Amino acid sequence: MYLVVILYALFASIFTLAKACLEHCQPFFLVGSRMLVGGALLLLYCALSKPGSVTLRGQGRGYWTKIVLLGVFAIYCTNAFEFWGLQYLTSFKTCFIYSLSPFFSALLSYLMFAERLGFKKWLGLAVGFIGFIPILSSQGGTAETAGQMFVLSWPEIAVISAAAATVYGWILLRDLVKFHNESPILANGWSMLIGGAISLLHSFAVEDWNPVPVSDFWIYAELALAMILISNVICYNLYGHLLRTYTATFLSFAGFMTPLFTAVYGIIFLGEQLSTAFIASTCIVFVGLLIFYFEELREGVAVEEAVSKREEAVA
């Protein structure tokens, strides 16, 4: 269990490190450089562990389209929107909004795969979305300087878009692994190269390259390398290891620890002020997650019992 806590404590540190790093470089350059290095490391691992394995097999209809879309949505859109919004928001508010991902995942499963949602799951989703109202209504950071649309600032909309993009990325990765028999490490490695390249082109078009969009190279390099090590190397492999012991449902539920750790790090290392809106949203969203995941666990137990009875009948 302690490894689960360590996993999400490490995930939370990414927001703190990124917030600090953005004081010394511009967001699209940070995304591009980090993802190119991270993707190269994953592909290097594939090449060393199994020579010749870095070549994409290209099997099945739509394979290459999914690889490119994975790079566009899971890497470029997710990280570019997230880091651009993080410039203007506190680290814990950014992380909390990003925690919309499980709710978007449930909605996309319902819309794209006709997955049935019972009353309690809809109730959990409704409570969860209501829980985001206090923190989205609160002031914090410099979001107002970036403008707004209706009641939401553009940085908040950007982070919400990042949460939606990452869920679509999960769906694409699942399809590549399940239907095209592709290695998740290889698919992630190539998608990072694609998304990183797009982000660097975006950076070159809109950011100040003189000679690069970095004000203090050594601080940027230290923080960016720490993010690559934690996110691309440690967390990725630790999550895969934990899936052998815990269910994906439990790990998704436990992921709610991430904004709590981020809030602690923000107070200690960034001097951020914790708001009552964050506490209120945390409590309400936690209740929504409890309702949703307890119902999912109940349905899982019911399915297992049905399968067991069927096997007994056959025997």
Residue 286 lies in a domain: yes
Under the banding of pLDDT at 50, 70 and 90, the label for residue 94 is very high
pLDDT in tens, 149-170: 777 889 999 999 999 998 898 8
Residue 154 lies in a domain: yes
Listed range (74-83, 102-111, 196-205) with the worst mean pLDDT: 102-111
CA angle 55/58/59 to nearest 5° reads 130
Residue 257 lies in a domain: no
What per-residue confidence (pLDDT) applies to 294?
84
Residue 127 lies in a domain: yes
Q: Which amino acid is at 126?
A: A
Which residues have a Cβ under 8 Å from the Cβ of 181 and sit 6 or more positions away?
57, 59
Q: Are 228 and 37 in contact (CB under 8 A)?
A: yes
First to last CA, the chain: 37
Residue 269 lies in a domain: no
Domains in the chain: how many in total?
1
pLDDT in tens, 32-62: 999 999 999 988 988 888 776 677 666 666 7
User: Which range marks the domain in which residue 306 is found?
Assistant: 27-208+275-314
What per-residue confidence (pLDDT) applies to 248?
66
The torsion angle over the Cα atoms of residues 165, 168, 169 and 170, rounded to 10 degrees, is: 130
Q: Coil, strand, or helix at residue 237?
A: helix
pLDDT in tens, 220-259: 999 999 999 998 778 877 887 787 787 666 777 788 899 9
